[in-house]
C-alpha cells in the first residue's frame, strides 16, 4: 500500500478551522499524509467445522506527516501539531497470529442488503497476534505489539443474530511511547416482526488509554501490522450521528449507540425499496470523563439495484434533539442534516485482522 494525500477535516462542506487557545490564531485542519506499507504472510489452517489458523508474516511500513502554514506563528503550528497531527513512525518486523473461528453460518434475508441471501458467521471468533518491531531493522522504536480479540455470534430464532465483541491493542515501546486501546461492541438484529421489518441495535466504544502516536482520525503505519482498531474518531453525519454536521465531534475516545427500525423491502420496477427510522447517540472527546453524548432522530430510504451491486443506496435525514453551537459559525447547528451514501449506516463488528489487497483496500 502506498498513499500520498493531504488529510483534511471537513465540516459543513468546508475545511474545519483549528483555533489555537493560546494565540487565538486559526489554521485550516490539514496536513500532508505519506504512508507506505508492505507485508507478506503464510497461513497453515487446521480443522473443518472449527478452524484454527497459524499465520507467520513480516512487514515494513513508514508514515510521515508534515504541515505547511507559512503565515501562522510557530506556537500556533506547534499547538496544532501536538493536538491533531500523528507522530511519524516506521516499523519493520515479523508477526505471528493464532486465529480460531467456527465455520457455521446463518442464512439471512434483508440483513445488510435487501431481498438477497446473506451468510453471517456464527459462533466464536478469537484472534491473538504478536507483532514486534525493531530499531535494529530500521524501525523508529522497539515495540512489542499484542492484539487480542474475541467475539461470539448467536443465532436468534429464524433470521436474527446477536453479536458481542471485545478487542484490545497494546504496543509498549521505547522513546517513552506507548499505545493501547480497548474496543467493546454489541450488535443485535432481531428476527423479523410480523413480516413487516426488524429492529437493529448497535453500541460501540473506543477507549485509547495510551496514545503515543497521537492517532485521532488517522491510521499511521498501522496497515502493516494492525488489527481492527477504529481509527476515525470523528462523529457526525456519516459516522453514526446523522443530523449533525460532518465530523462535528472529534477526540481520541468515542462512544456511540444506535437504534434502527428497518422495514422489509417492496419491489418497484425490479428495484428493492425499504424504509428506515433511527435514533443515534454519540460522543467523542480526549478523555472518558469529557464524553457528553448528543442525540438525533430521523428517517431514511434504502434502495437496491440488483443488476448493479449488493450494496444498498442510503438516503437519511436526521434531526438533532439538541442544537449546540457550531464552532465554525458561532450559531446553533442546522435543524436537520442529510446524507446520501452506499451501505448501511453501521456494520456488524468484526475482530478478524483485515488483510491488505493489492489495491490497498482492506478486506474484512
User: Cell digits for 19?
Assistant: 483555533
pLDDT of residue 358: 40
Is residue 41 within 8 A of residue 33, CB to CB? The reply is: no
Q: Can you give the pTM of this predicted structure? A: 0.88
SS (H, E, C) the chain: CEEEEEEECEECCEECEEECCCCCCEEECEEEEEEEEEEEEEEEEECCCEEEEEEEEEEEEEEEEECCCCCCCHHHHHHHHHHHCCCCEEEEEEEEEEEEEECCEEEEECCCCCCCEEEEECEEEEEEEEEEECHHHCCCCCEEEEEEEEEEEEEECCCEEEEEEEEEEEEEECCCCEEEEEEEEEEEECCCECCCEEEEEEEEEEEEEEECCCCCCCCCCHHHHCCCCCCCCEEECCECCCCCCCCCEECCEEEEEEEEEEECCEEECCEEEEEEEEEEEEEEECCHHHCCCEEEEEEEEEEECCCCCCCCEEEEEEEECCCCECCCCCCECCCCEEEEEECCCCCCCCCCCCEECCCCCEEC
**Terminal-residue alpha carbon distance, the chain:** 16
Residue 42, number of CB atoms within 10 A of its CB: 9
pLDDT of residue 329: 75
Note the pLDDT tens digit of each residue in 208-263.
888 888 876 444 434 333 444 445 578 887 778 999 998 888 888 989 999 999 99
pLDDT of residue 69: 94
Class of domain 2-363: mainly beta
As a whole number of angstroms, the distance between CA 82 and CA 353 comes to 30
pLDDT of residue 364: 31
pLDDT of residue 220: 40
As a whole number of angstroms, the distance between CA 89 and CA 179 comes to 12
Is residue 121 within 8 A of residue 101, CB to CB? The reply is: yes
Note the pLDDT tens digit of each residue in 95-127.
999 999 999 999 999 999 999 999 999 999 999
Locate the domains of the chain by residue range. 2-363
Where the chain has pLDDT below 50, the residues are 217-230, 356-364
Amino acid at each position: 500500500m502506498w498513499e500520498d494525500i493531504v488529510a483534511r477535516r471537513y465540516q459543513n462542506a468546508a475545511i474545519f478551522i483549528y483555533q489555537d487557545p493560546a494565540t487565538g490564531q486559526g489554521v485550516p485542519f490539514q496536513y500532508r499524509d505519506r504512508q507506505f506499507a508492505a507485508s507478506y504472510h503464510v497461513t497453515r489452517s487446521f480443522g473443518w467445522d472449527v478452524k484454527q489458523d497459524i499465520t507467520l508474516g513480516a512487514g515494513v511500513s513508514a508514515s510521515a506527516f508534515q504541515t505547511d502554514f507559512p503565515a501562522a506563528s510557530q506556537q500556533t503550528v506547534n499547538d496544532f501539531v501536538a493536538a491533531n497531527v500523528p507522530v511519524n513512525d516506521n516499523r519493520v518486523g515479523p508477526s505471528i497470529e493464532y486465529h480460531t473461528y467456527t465455520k457455521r453460518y446463518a442464512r439471512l434475508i434483508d440483513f445488510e442488503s435487501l431481498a438477497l441471501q446473506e451468510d453471517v458467521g456464527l459462533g466464536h471468533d478469537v484472534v491473538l497476534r504478536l507483532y514486534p518491531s525493531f530499531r535494529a531493522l530500521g524501525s523508529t522504536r522497539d515495540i512489542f505489539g499484542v492484539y487480542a480479540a474475541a467475539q461470539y455470534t448467536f443465532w436468534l430464532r429464524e433470521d436474527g443474530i446477536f453479536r458481542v465483541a471485545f478487542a484490545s491493542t497494546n504496543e509498549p515501546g521505547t522513546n517513552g511511547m506507548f499505545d493501547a486501546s480497548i474496543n467493546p461492541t454489541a450488535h443485535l438484529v432481531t428476527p423479523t416482526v410480523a413480516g413487516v421489518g426488524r429492529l437493529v441495535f448497535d453500541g460501540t466504544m473506543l477507549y485509547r488509554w495510551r496514545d503515543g502516536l497521537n492517532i485521532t482520525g488517522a491510521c499511521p503505519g498501522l496497515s502493516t501490522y494492525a488489527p481492527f482498531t477504529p481509527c476515525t474518531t470523528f462523529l457526525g453525519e456519516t459516522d453514526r450521528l446523522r443530523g449533525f454536521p460532518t465530523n462535528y465531534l472529534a477526540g481520541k475516545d468515542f462512544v456511540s449507540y444506535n437504534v434502527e427500525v428497518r422495514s422489509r423491502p417492496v419491489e418497484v420496477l425490479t428495484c428493492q425499496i425499504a424504509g428506515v427510522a433511527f435514533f443515534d447517540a454519540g460522543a467523542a472527546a480526549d478523555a472518558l470523563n469529557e464524553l457528553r453524548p448528543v442525540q438525533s432522530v430521523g428517517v431514511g430510504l434504502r434502495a437496491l439495484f440488483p443488476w448493479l451491486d449488493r450494496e444498498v443506496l442510503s438516503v437519511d435525514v436526521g434531526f438533532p434533539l439538541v442544537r449546540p453551537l457550531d464552532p465554525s459559525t458561532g450559531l446553533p447547528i442546522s435543524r436537520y442534516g442529510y446524507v446520501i451514501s452506499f451501505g448501511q449506516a453501521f456494520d456488524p463488528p468484526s475482530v478478524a485482522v483485515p488483510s491488505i489487497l493489492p489495491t490497498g483496500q482492506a478486506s474484512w
